[in-house]
Amino acid sequence: MKSYRDHGCHHRSPPSQWQELIRRQAGRVTRTRQLLLEALLRLRCPSTPKQIAEAVGRRTCDLATVYRCMTLFEQMGLVHRVDFGDGLARFEIADDDPSGHHHHHLLCRQCDRIVKLDDCILGEVESSLASHYGFVEIQHRLEFFGICPDCQQARRRPSP
């Protein structure tokens, strides 16, 4: 499995047609909606609504608006919800390509660093399950957890 690039998450810009998609499905491309998508691009990793609100400035956008917009963007396919099993909803720009490629994440259990993994080897498993059990449109979610190199190094340093 291919590793990560410069210890961070990278996303392409949202599809060039995202504004048209918002117009068609939600009516208007508001300044707030535009700022939220731009904030997700800047954040570059799955982010909580609180982190997104802080990135745009709480005076610009309150938490309830962030939740509403993320729900709308998720329904439109512009963002994905990421679940690390800690009860916090996180969102990231949907950068899956039309061929169905997606990615997984590696999360540090100490500092919460999130690394985007570019490869997924489970496509073959999905195909096997489909043919064996007769299912269609099989999907999966898989996230990895560990301790990042920086936190490992911090553990080894003697305490003052």
Q: Which CATH class is domain 12-95?
A: mainly alpha
- Region 97-160: CATH code: 3.30.1490.190
Q: Which regions of the chain carry the CATH code 3.30.1490.190?
A: 97-160
User: Would you say residue 4 has pLDDT above 70?
Assistant: no
> How far apart are alpha carbons 134 and 24 in whole angstroms?
35
The CB-side HSE value for 20 (13 A sphere, CA atoms) comes to 3
List the single range of 36-40, 58-62, 119-123, 153-157 with lowest mean pLDDT. 119-123
List the single range of 56-60, 92-96, 129-133 with lowest mean pLDDT. 92-96
Reported confidence tier of residue 159, pLDDT bands at 50, 70, 90: low
> How far apart are alpha carbons 15 and 2 in whole angstroms?
24
- Bridge partner residues of 144 (DSSP): 106
Reported confidence tier of residue 71, pLDDT bands at 50, 70, 90: very high
In sequence order, what E strands does 17-153 have? 79-83, 89-93, 104-108, 114-117, 143-146
Q: Which regions of the chain carry the CATH code 1.10.10.10?
A: 12-95
User: Would you say residue 134 has pLDDT above 90?
Assistant: yes
Cβ pair 147, 108 in contact under 8 A: yes
pTM over 0.75: no
